[in-house]
Amino acid sequence: MTQAPAPPKARKRRHDREIVALALPAFGALVAEPLFVMVDSAVVGHLGTPQLAGLAVAAALLMTAVSVFVFLAYATTAAVARRVGAGDLPAAIRQGMDGIWLALILGIAVIAFTLPAAPWLVELFGTSDTASPYAITYLRISSLGIPAMLIVLAATGVLRGLQDTKTPLYVAIGGFTANAVLNVGLVYGAGLGIAGSAWGTVIAQCAMAVAYLVVVVRGARRHGASLRPDAPGIRASAQAGVPLLVRTLSLRAVLMIATAVAARLGDTDIAAHQIILSLWTLMAFALDAIAIAGQAIIGRYLGAGDADGARDVCRRMVQWGIAAGVVFGVLIVLARPLFTPLFTGDEAVQDTLLPALLVVALSQPIAGVVFVLDGVLMGAGDGPYLAWAMVLTLAVFAPVALLIPPLGGGLTALWWAMTLMMAVRLLTLWLRARSGRWIVTGATR
């Protein structure tokens, strides 16, 4: 006898429980990365405006160097979740190990490029002479932690695919605490200045990578998955991540163009932009917690052949995204007079960032839907469409942003351009989600 489908309210409650169970721990783990930057910004900001301006440029470059490889987490989450849905745990973990080896190889390559190229990269941003030395120092030291950061991404993807977001939360809490203590101790206690902030972040990231490796290796041994590098598997992981790499490069290009434009507006604007970008990134990662839940849940439903369940989860997550975006927007408006003094005592910087923060607050409901739909399509393995959509978004954003300095616009105008970028992303992702073409069932796409 065929079992009757659950009523709509019961399905919503079930989806809500799944979303909350994965999203809440994922939120804590996701915000660790921007919180690292926010702690650095708060500590370095009190050294002076040139130091904070230098950190802004170096942090943008460092985050780009790491974030372009975020496919190590996202593609792995989707692939592992599909195999979990299909009941093939050993194959899921084996693929995750291939991703970790790929992360190590990519991390070493990034260090080899970043160390000698640091002065050129900082100059490319049009950084002022006063801020450049601080940017170069921070970038060179922090780049040493890139392999650890990429290993963290890959291992996190494995655990998310296995429907485990609690372990990444525990590791993130430990890493954030260590980073905060080390930053204060090395910057002020040891008197190392901005270099101390960079070293603190490197040490914390390496400790996090070790913790993840212990968990993943134990899981691999328990399920009989090999720990040795497998060349075909590593190549397959790299090939699967190419569309998401294109998507992420386009997104990082948007953020780098925004930082470059802010740098050309002057030290006050770039310092204010760094504070706003730290907050914007924190909100983005918080909204992305729902998307992470979506990647894991939708991948599992599609792997199990349940297309209707995947559609239901998608609809419910969009509702969650809208509600979360509204809440975050209101919080930004209410809290903006309180948190700005935490990052800088410069009144000119504070006056510059306050109106731009209102624009960020207004854009949060749009961001809520964008990040959720992004996660849905990633969970479905719809990387090629995501790549095309983000390239189109970059093509719209770039000319608008680059016209701001010659037309006499300021930081607020730049953040209106960022809102335009999010609106274009919303349109492209909504059209794809509505079409249903992303729904492909089976253990592999």
DSSP string over 283-342: HHHHHHHHHHHHHHHHHHHHHTT-HHHHHHHHHHHHHHHHHHHHHHHHHHHHHHHHHHHH
* pLDDT given at position 441: 85
Pick 178 or 29 by higher pLDDT: 178
**pLDDT, average across residues 316-344:** 85
CA-based nearest residue to 18, from 303, 285, 317:
317
* pLDDT given at position 218: 87
Specify the range with the lowest mean pLDDT, choosing from 18-22, 43-47, 300-304, 406-410. Answer: 43-47
* pLDDT given at position 373: 94
DSSP string over 199-261: HHHHHHHHHHHHHHHHHHHHHHHHTT---S--HHHHHHHHHHHHHHHHHHHHHHHHHHHHHHH
* pLDDT given at position 31: 67
Pick 12 or 373 by higher pLDDT: 373
**pLDDT, average across residues 127-143:** 86
* pLDDT given at position 390: 96
* pLDDT given at position 33: 66
* pLDDT given at position 1: 36
CA distance 437 to 435: 5
Specify the range with the lowest mean pLDDT, choosing from 67-81, 316-330, 343-357, 361-375. Answer: 343-357
CA distance 340 to 331: 14
Alpha-carbon Rg for the chain in angstroms: 21
**pLDDT, average across residues 129-142:** 87
* pLDDT given at position 3: 42
Specify the range with the lowest mean pLDDT, choosing from 164-173, 225-234, 305-314, 417-426. Answer: 225-234
* pLDDT given at position 19: 85
* pLDDT given at position 151: 92
* pLDDT given at position 288: 82
pLDDT tens per residue across span 380-425? 889 899 999 999 999 999 999 999 988 888 888 999 999 999 999 9
* pLDDT given at position 330: 92
100-139 exposure pattern, b = at least 16 Cβ within 10 A, e = fewer: bbbbbebbeebbeebeeebeebbeebbbbeebbbbbbbbb
* pLDDT given at position 240: 78
**pLDDT, average across residues 344-351:** 75
**pLDDT, average across residues 182-206:** 87
pLDDT at 284 over 70: yes
pLDDT at 125 over 60: yes
* pLDDT given at position 221: 84
